[in-house]
Amino acid sequence: MKASNYETDFYTWTQQQASLLKSGRLSELDVENLIEEVETMGRSERRALESRLTVLLVHMLKWQYQPGRRGNSWKFTIDEQRFSFQKVLKQNPGLKSEIDAILSDAYEYAVMKAAHETGLRNDLFPASCPWSLDQLSESSYYPD
């Protein structure tokens, strides 16, 4: 199989690689590009978890720091992102070992985004995430 299909027809390349794997023709695999794609898939799952946590944290910050603007839309977003980040984590339990770093990165971006969306200064928000993973996971928890 031609490695050039990787560059010109990614779908066909994936089907060819799958066929080679299924038939045990391992010496014909495009190993270099397969390695790259497998690593990319792992990074994609990490980014998905971080993205869900970021949106959750933005809305938790807005909920806490703008109580007069609370509404069903914010509540739904909190619930939805809470559900989604837990789903990503359940489907990728290997990410649990990285959760502290992912949460830290997500919180840093969430503060910047929340400050922009609320008009509040960044330094009004805590320097590190004020909520535990248990609180972020708890369906009935909303910050005061």
| Tens digits of residue pLDDT in 11-66 | 999 999 999 999 999 999 999 999 999 999 989 999 999 999 999 999 999 999 99
Report yes or no on 143 lying in a domain: no
**For residue 82, what are the domain limits?**
44-137
Report yes or no on 39 lying in a domain: no
Question: CA 89, CA 100: separation in Å to the nearest integer?
Answer: 13
Task: State the pLDDT at residue 4.
Answer: 59
Output 81 or 144, whichever has higher pLDDT: 81
pLDDT level of residue 2 (50, 70, 90 thresholds): very low
Report yes or no on 4 lying in a domain: no
Report yes or no on 126 lying in a domain: yes
Mean pLDDT (whole number) for 75-85: 97
Task: State the pLDDT at residue 30.
Answer: 95
Report yes or no on 49 lying in a domain: yes
Measuring CA to CA, how many Å separate 45 from each of 15, 40, 68? 22, 9, 35
| Per-residue pLDDT at 101 exceeds 60 | yes
**Are 129 and 103 contacting, i.e. CB atoms less than 8 angstroms apart?**
yes
Report yes or no on 80 lying in a domain: yes
Report yes or no on 62 lying in a domain: yes
Question: CA 106, CA 88: separation in Å to the nearest integer?
Answer: 15
Report yes or no on 63 lying in a domain: yes
Sign of CA pseudo-dihedral 35, 89, 82, 105: negative
**Are 79 and 139 contacting, i.e. CB atoms less than 8 angstroms apart?**
yes
Record the tokens describing residue 41, joined without a space.
Answer: 């898939």
Query: Domain total for the chain?
Result: 1
